[in-house]
Structure 1
Amino acid sequence: MKLVVITAGLTQPSSTRLLADRLAEAAGQRLHGAAGTTVIELRELAVDIANNFVTGFANARLREALAAVEEADGLIAVTPVFTASYSGLFKSFFDVVDNTALAGKPVLIAATGGTPRHSLALEHALRPLFAYLRAVVAPTAVYAASEDWGGGGDAFTDGLSERISRAAAELADLMLRRAPGQAGGEQQDVTTGQTDGAPSGQGREFDEVIPFEQQLAALRP
């Protein structure tokens, strides 16, 4: 399986990249090393993305990033919050991604910002964006404010660490559900080697993850 991490941090080092790395690490642990991880730093593609808008053509480096997204079995998408929304660089990249590339693909959304007041950007900006792209967005979104960086350095508070673990578990479960079918049409759980056809009580069972859009529709009159 392939896990692709997209980070839109502009500085180096970047708290956005650090959060992305922690999410990827947690998801990798849940997948027991069954997924290779590719990190796409959008700051390195900023000029390429702008040139694509002007010329209508993606250069080799941007094409490689777009191909990685299309071939991924799961995505982690992390952006800094600017003006109560995702960054322009983050949105520009997904503007050049083919609008069918994310259909049915599991995505974990996350963001960083200076204050907890911007955490709702995940729900009013990022989640609708990926819903429009027909991705399957993990129920738990992760937001890291300045105060969530506990003892300095790369230490997280317990609350943020718990959210990272829960979101990573949801993404891993969604990815495992989409694992390529094995011989005979069975689907293998890469963490146990058991298949969907195993007798009851054998292999790993996952709690059902209901997409946010379906939950929202159920609430409407």
Structure 2
Amino acid sequence: MFTTEPLRIVAVAAGLSSPSSTRLLADRLAAATRERLETEQDRAVEVRVIELRDLAVDIAGNLVSGFPSATLEEAIGAVTEADGLIAVTPVFTASYSGLFKSFFDLVENTALTGKPVVVAATGGTARHSLVLEHAMRPLFAYLRAVTLPTSVYAASEDWGSSGDEYTEGLPARIRRAGGELARAVTGGAAVSGASKALGLDDEVIPFERQLAGLRPA
């Protein structure tokens, strides 16, 4: 039986088409997080997905006038008050979409302080996967959020793929990211979550000792 107030998980999806792979990825990440929280931690969860395509006119109006509509203000409030955030964008011109950036331009730069965030993106080819590292992580670092270790990129060929002996398939990456977010919103440290995900020991071996082990006797 669930205890305490529900945890609020908000996913922001910046896909332009309907339906879109961006919305699909947001839904799957939210479902993975919900499953871990409900089945493993016995917590009630409220999930909300905000589709930015529905707010495009409101976002443009706010950028021009400086005043948000009631609908946009409510959406920004849901993001800033969430216990955990999932942010998913399609890749346009080797970066996040303009709509995605415009929405987060309207979020106060201290409003996400300490909030755990999973970043994810979709694109036609795996060549754009570094957008997660060179664009999305710096954006949320500026907003003072805690970006979780596992980010998820889904290229067209990833859907329905189970991976191979060298790489995890998309479903495994979604489950891992959902597990990290579930731990973070219930008080698990993001660093400790990263260590478990990467299979690291608690002991940190100094770099000098690692180098010494490579020198010939």
TM-score tier (shorter): 0.7 to 0.9
Please state how far the C-alpha of 1:100 moved relative to its aligned partner.
1.1
- Once residues 140 and 95 of structure 1 are traced to their aligned partners in structure 2, the CA distance between those partners, rounded to angstroms, is 24
Pair 1:39–1:101, CA change in 2 (3 A): same
| Cα gap change, 1:6 to 1:137, in 2 (>3 Å) | same
List gaps (5 residues or longer) in structure 2: 1-6, 164-168, 196-205, 208-217
Question: Are 1:111 and 1:144, in contact at CA under 8 Å, matched by a contact in 2?
Answer: yes
Aligned position for 2:13: 7
Give me the whole-angstrom Cα distance separating, in 2, the residues matched to 1:24 and 1:69.
Answer: 14
Which residues in structure 2 correspond to 1:109-148 (within 5 Å)? 109-148=119-158
1:209 is the counterpart of 2:193: yes
SS in 1 for 2:74: helix
Matched, 1:82 2:103: no
Q: One-letter code of the match for 1:92?
A: S
Which amino acid letter does the alignment assign opposite residue 85 of structure 2?
Answer: L
TM-score by length of 2: 0.80
TM-score (norm 1): 0.78
Shift of 1:89: 0.2
The offset of 1:125, in angstroms, is 0.2
The C-alpha deviation readout for 1:144-187, integer Å capped at 9, x for no partner, is 0000112xxxxx53511110011110111010107xxxxxxxxx
Once the two structures are TM-superposed, the CA of residue 26 in structure 1 deviates from its matched residue by 0.3
Tell me if structure 2 keeps the 8 A contact 1:69–1:101.
no
Q: Which runs of no fewer than 5 residues in structure 1 stay unpaired?
A: 151-155, 179-204, 212-217
Pick aligned residue for 1:176 from 176, 186, 190: 186
**Deviation at residue 210 of structure 1 after TM alignment:** 5.3
CA distance in 2, matches of 1:100, 1:145: 32
RMSD: 2.1
Task: Indicate which of 24, 27, 31 corresponds to 1:25.
Answer: 31
Distance in 1 between residues matched to 2:136 and 2:157, nearest whole Å: 22
1:160-218 deviations in Å (ceiling 9; x for gaps) = 1110011110111010107xxxxxxxxxxxxxxxxxxxxxxxxxx9981359xxxxxx9
- Residue identity over aligned pairs, in percent, reads 65
Alignment partner for residue 59 of structure 1, among 69, 81, 87? 69
For 1:34 and 1:27, the matched residues in 2 are separated by: 11
8 Å Cα contact 1:142-1:164 kept in structure 2: yes
1:70 CA displacement: 1.4
One-letter amino acid of the counterpart of residue 19, structure 2: P
Match of residue 162, structure 2, among 150, 157, 161: 157
2:84, 2:181 within 8 Å by CA — same for their partners in 1? Answer: yes
Change (3 A) 1:115 1:37: same
